Amino acid sequence: MNVPLKIIGADITEDAPALFFCDESRIVCKMREKEYIPQLLSICKKQKVDCLIPTIDTDLLLLVENKASFLAIGTKVLISAVDKVKLCRDKNYTADYFVSLGLKSPLPVNSVEKYEKALRLGTSAGYTFL
């Protein structure tokens, strides 16, 4: 594409495999720590990051909830809308969403007893049994 591009990776440890594919790397605290978002914002602001691309699922909800803070400093977060992130992070919501669209979905298993009962009664209501 012949576009000047610099990839800056951030992780909690310097030996994270993805960092070896980056031009530069930054060490940040764990996602659950209160300084995580401020650290990312600081990196993005100092480095004039155009686009933040999350690469692990655990960060998605936190990043989408803070998307406006990144936009305020000129960094776009490449992420779906908050309702879609929440949908995909919960197997029950995901299954219900697929069924609401007329698609088949595996019956979510939250307890063996409920699953066995549904099998006996044949009450899959749009869900498939695997």
| pLDDT reported for residue 127 | 61
CATH 3.40.50.20 region(s) of the chain? 8-80
- 101 is written with which tokens? 């669209």
Please check the confidence at residue 67 and state whether its pLDDT lies above 70.
yes
User: pLDDT-derived band of residue 123, with 50, 70 and 90 as boundaries?
Assistant: low
Distance CA 118, CA 11 (A): 43
CATH of domain 8-80: 3.40.50.20
Q: What share of the chain is helix, strand, coil (3-state, %, to 5)?
A: 45, 10, 40
Q: Mean pLDDT, to the nearest integer, of 22-46? A: 97
Question: What's the half-sphere exposure (Cβ side, CA atoms, 13 Å) at 23?
Answer: 6
Cα 25 to Cα 129: distance, rounded to the nearest angstrom? 45
Structure tokens belonging to residue 12: 């909690």
What is the arithmetic mean of pLDDT over 35-57? 96
Q: pLDDT > 70: what percent of the chain?
A: 92
Q: What is the DSSP string of 66-88?
A: THHHHHHTT-EE----HHHHHHH
Residue closest to 94 by CA, chosen among 85, 47, 130, 59: 85
Residue 32 pLDDT > 90: yes
Average pLDDT over residues 108-119: 76
